[in-house]
Amino acid sequence: MTPEQLITFATVAEHGNISRAAIALHLSQPAVSGQLRQLQDEFGEPLYLRNGRGVRLTAAGEQLVQYAGRIRETYRQAHAYRDALRGLERGTLRIGASTTPASYLLPYLIAAFHRQFPDVSVSTIDGNTSDIVAALPSLDIAMIEGPVGVDLPPGTGVTPWREDEVVAIVPNAHPLATGRDEASLDAISAHPLVLREGGSGVRQIVERAFARAGSPMRVALEIAGVEGVKEAVRAGMGIGFVSAMSMRHEDSALRRLRIAPEPLTRRFSILMPHSAAPSRVAARFLELCQQSAEEA
């Protein structure tokens, strides 16, 4: 039995799912499963049971997770203390970001941070909003799009950040693109749609808007990632929805349409795990993010 196995076990118990725990731990799913098997062999009886797509702890597992959780929290505190002692001359910063901020904001923020603190090591993960929330225990700071859910880990601080607009995109030859730069959801609903995968912040915004408008959705394709949506729209699969930010450097093959009469807007939020005692590097990066929003 090793501390790493116990930390892995505590993370799996928290998420109730091996694949989500693997994302949070920056490990492969087979590596997590292997650690769980070794730990279970050590105790000689089942610590968890498969439950659909997730796992459920046995009575022995429920007892063990209390000790495992303490070890994981002690490790996290020691890690934060080490970074505090190092200050900003050394240290690490682990950032998570959902798709839109990861692609169109985070590179510029990291570049600005690196100019100020060149010796800080920065690592990043990206995914949809639900992926990043699942990974929060292993991050120093994260940025997500859309509504902040109620399933955040205890102690997570939430800072409202920037506003973004979600727009519809169509090929230039599409009937809705003729002589206009906006369209209603009712008009869009008459055409097939290309949507992001479940868990995407953009998809949540779009689904709620159609529900409020009472307009039907004809989903022709569900595809992961912003670029996947763009390529599907170029291929004529339907009307897509993306952040307006993602269209800043787009070529002339696609046309963006604002949603009328009320544009679809959303807020990005910054999440700070362990906000009561953030590392110095995380606090400085948060300040940089807030400054960039004020200057935008």
Report the CATH number that the domain containing residue 74 is assigned in CATH: 1.10.10.10
pLDDT, tens digit (0-9, with 9 covering 90-100), for 217-256: 999 999 988 899 999 999 999 999 999 988 887 767 899 9
Question: Whole-number mean pLDDT of the chain?
Answer: 88
pLDDT, tens digit (0-9, with 9 covering 90-100), for 261-278: 999 998 899 999 877 777
Pick the more confident residue, 289 or 224.
Answer: 289
Judge if 101 and 243 occupy the same domain. Answer: no
Tokens representing 223 are: 């595809």
Instruction: Tell me which of 20, 49, 84 is where a domain ends.
Output: 84
Hey, how many other C-beta atoms are within 10 angstroms of the C-beta on 204? 20
Domain count, the chain: 3
Judge if 215 and 247 occupy the same domain. Answer: yes
What share of the chain in percent tops pLDDT 70? Answer: 95
What is the average pLDDT across 24-29? 86
Of 43-47, 51-55, 97-101, the poorest mean pLDDT is in 51-55
Judge if 233 and 171 occupy the same domain. Answer: yes
Q: Determine if the pTM surpasses 0.85.
A: no
Tokens representing 14 are: 């928290």
Measured distance CA(63)–CA(199) in Å, rounded: 32
Hey, how many other C-beta atoms are within 10 angstroms of the C-beta on 100? 29
Instruction: Identify the CATH number of the domain in which residue 147 sits.
Output: 3.40.190.10
pLDDT of residue 212: 94
In three-state secondary structure terms, 181 is: coil
Q: Residue 87 pLDDT more than 60?
A: no
Confidence of residue 296 (pLDDT cuts 50, 70, 90): low
Judge if 122 and 236 occupy the same domain. Answer: no
Judge if 158 and 276 occupy the same domain. Answer: yes
Judge if 146 and 290 occupy the same domain. Answer: yes
What is the average pLDDT across 105-119? 92
Confidence of residue 76 (pLDDT cuts 50, 70, 90): confident
Q: Residue 74 pLDDT more than 90?
A: no
Confidence of residue 197 (pLDDT cuts 50, 70, 90): confident
Distances 83 to 143, 153, 178 between C-alpha atoms, Å: 21, 22, 56
What is the average pLDDT across 150-163? 86
Pick the more confident residue, 81 or 290.
Answer: 290
pLDDT of residue 251: 67
pLDDT of residue 17: 87
Confidence of residue 88 (pLDDT cuts 50, 70, 90): low
Instruction: Tell me which of 84, 118, 138 is where a domain ends.
Output: 84
Judge if 152 and 97 occupy the same domain. Answer: yes
Cβ-contact 35, 25 below 8 angstroms:
no
Judge if 272 and 259 occupy the same domain. Answer: no
- Domain limits for position 47: 3-84
Judge if 222 and 259 occupy the same domain. Answer: yes
DSSP designation for 174 = S
Judge if 217 and 207 occupy the same domain. Answer: yes
Tokens representing 105 are: 């904001």
46-50, 76-80, 123-127, 198-202: which has the highest mean pLDDT?
A: 123-127
Judge if 92 and 16 occupy the same domain. Answer: no
pLDDT of residue 169: 96
Which is nearest to 169 in space by CA: 100, 247, 101?
247
Q: Residue 86 pLDDT more than 80?
A: no
What is the average pLDDT across 82-108? 79
Judge if 228 and 179 occupy the same domain. Answer: yes
pLDDT of residue 24: 84
